[in-house]
Structure 1
Amino acid sequence: MAEEFEVDTDDLERRMKGAMDSLRHEFGTLRTGRASASMVEPVMVDAYGSPTPINQIGTINVPEPRMVTINIWDKGLVSRAEKAIRDSGLGINPQTNGTIIMLPIPELNEERRRELTKVAAQYAENARVAIRNVRRDGMDQIKKGKTAGMSEDDQKFWETEVQELTNKMIAAVDGALEAKQAEIMQV
């Protein structure tokens, strides 16, 4: 008799949740017209000879809903940080006051909001692709089990389990995308 074969659905679920976490992080970097410390996290500053995340050269604060401030610890890095913010594509014009860089968040116009919803949709599609790749890995495990003597009933059971997990995660991506797009379009 063939030995019992199991698909590691916990591992598949963990990897799919990793794609969701990555999506949430990417959504956090999108500007929605409100100030958020996470929107400047992807900015890299050329500090001490290597690209360094901006949150490692200063303190990021959100003192009011439409303002982000960054208190740079090393005076010599203020101009580099300011240049990195300008070049980052955030669409924000930094203002410097000593070692403090202020980022006033402008009101988003309708065209920019639509562009941001398209970017959010692209992030969501990347997450769906990652989830489908994990699903494919699970299906490959099932195929290996079939060649190792897995019964057809077991094969169908595991295929259904993997597909249900995939459907659940893709629904979560779709829900997160709808919420983010609504947040972006909110005036």
Structure 2
Amino acid sequence: HQLEVSNWATGLVPESVIGMGDIVFWKDGREVYDSVNLVYHYSNGIKITYESLISNKYNGMEDQILGHKGTMNLATGVYYLEEDDGRSGIERLLNQIEDKVFSAVPIGGPSWRPETKKESKPFPILKGKMHVNKGLSMVGAEKDGSDAILSAFCQACITGEKGENIVEEAYCATLLCLLGNQAMEEQKKVEFPDEYKIPYMKF
């Protein structure tokens, strides 16, 4: 599902993937990696960094979109602006020196603001009431979207109507998962094979 979200956000399908996977914790004879790191690469230079570590649940599940203007956290339903106070980097530096934020003056980096989320003001991605999971499981939670999904499924069964692009999206996500597994097993960059491309895909 994370791969589908990334494709929706970019409007594209990745052209290649590299990655590594290992069995680090669950050494019980299983063959499925419990530690996964993948990087999917789009033709325009955008990358998906996918990480799954099933032996640790501290951060829960997060989907973040990072860009030069800000960061969207889809799990919490908020976004943060990179320049949220309207001041230039040098103005922030001078103010922070005056306020004695630093014991030493930093001389590198694209921004003089300390890298902490606490100083970034969150803005809601969507207006009005919405339910977000903050990285935790929402299964069974009130208004978690399950009712809408089940209703749409029943409607499709009754009317025979096909949901828009459901098969195509599932096909894309499945192929990307398989290519990710191949990249981890072979420990090399894997290109999206031409023979598996369909007209729906945009690279």
Q: What TM bracket, shorter-length normalisation? A: under 0.3
Larger Rg belongs to: 1
Q: TM-score with structure 2 length normalisation?
A: 0.25
Q: What TM-score, normalized by structure 1, do the two folds share?
A: 0.26
